Amino acid sequence: MNNFEFSLPTKIHFGKGKINQIGDYIKTNGTRVLIHYGSERIKKSGLFEIVVESMKNQGINFFELGGVEPNPLLSKSKEGIDICRSNKIDFILAIGGGSVIDSAKTISLGIPYDRDVWDFFINKATPKSAIPIGVILTIPATASETNSTAVITNEAIHSKRHIKNDLLKPVFAIMDPELTFSVPPYQTAAGCIDIMAHVWERYFVDQPQSYLLDKMFEAVLKTIIQYAPIALREPKNYKARSEIMWASSIAHNDMLGSVGDFACHGIGLQLSALYNVTHGASLAIAIIAWAKYVYKHDINRFCKFAESIWGIEQNNMDPELTACQGIKATEDFFNSLNIPTKLSEAGISSDQIELMAEKAVDNGLGYLGLGFVRLYKEDLIEIYKLAY
Instruction: Name beta bridge partners: 163.
Output: 150
Q: Quick check: 114 binds a copy of itself (CB under 8 A)?
A: no
- Choice between 209 and 352, CB closer to a copy of itself: 209
Check residue 202 for interaction with a copy of itself (CB under 8 A).
Answer: no
Largest CA distance in the chain: 70
Selected binder of a copy of itself within 7, 86, 316, 349 (CB under 8 A): 7
Query: Is residue 8 within the footprint of a copy of itself (CB under 8 A)?
Result: yes
| 13 binds a copy of itself per the rule CB under 8 A | yes
Asked if 131 and 92 count as a contact pair (C-beta separation under 8 A), the reply is yes
- The verdict on 21 binding a copy of itself (CB under 8 A) reads no
Q: By CB under 8 A, is residue 137 in contact with a copy of itself?
A: no
The stretch near a copy of itself (CB under 8 A) out of 78-86, 133-141, 179-187, 204-212 is: 204-212
Please, what is the angle between helix 263-275 and helix 185-203, to 10°?
Answer: 150
Q: List C-alpha distances in Å: 274 to 266, 289, 359, 367.
A: 13, 18, 9, 18
Position 250, amino acid: I
For residue 368, report the phi and psi dihedrals to the nearest 5 degrees.
Answer: -115, 160
Q: Which is nearer to a copy of itself, 258 or 363 (CB)?
A: 258
Q: Say if strands 91-96 and 32-37 run parallel, antiparallel, or are unpaired.
A: parallel
**DSSP state for residue 313 in the 8-state scheme:** P
Tell me if 15 contacts a copy of itself by CB under 8 A: yes
Total length of the chain = 388
> Considering the rule CB under 8 A, would residue 164 count as an interface residue with a copy of itself?
no
Q: Does 207 bind a copy of itself (CB under 8 A)?
A: no
**Minimum gap (Å) between residue 166 Cβ and a copy of itself:** 9
Comparing CB distances to a copy of itself, the nearer of 16 and 56 is 16
3-state secondary structure of 346: helix
Q: Which of 102, 145, 194, 243 binds a copy of itself (CB under 8 A)?
A: 243
The answer to the question of residue 218 lying near a copy of itself (CB under 8 A) is: yes
**Do residues 201 and 260 make contact, with C-beta atoms less than 8 angstroms apart?**
yes
**Rounded CA separation 280/381 (Å):** 21
Residue 63 contacts residue 35 (beta carbons within 8 Å) = yes
| Pairing status of strand 32-37 against strand 61-65 | parallel
Q: How many residues bind a copy of itself (CB under 8 A)?
A: 39
Q: Does 2 bind a copy of itself (CB under 8 A)?
A: yes
Interface with a copy of itself, residue 53, by CB under 8 A:
no
The only residue of 5, 114, 313, 351 in contact with a copy of itself, by rule CB under 8 A: 5
- Is residue 247 a contact residue for a copy of itself (CB under 8 A)? yes
Q: Which stretch binds a copy of itself (CB under 8 A): 76-84, 185-193, 236-244, 342-350?
A: 236-244
Between CA 248 and CA 241 the distance in angstroms is: 11
Distance in angstroms (rounded) separating the CA atoms of residues 343 and 58: 50
- State the residues that interact with a copy of itself by CB under 8 A: 1-18, 177, 208, 210-212, 215-216, 218-220, 222-223, 226-227, 239, 242-243, 246-247, 250, 255
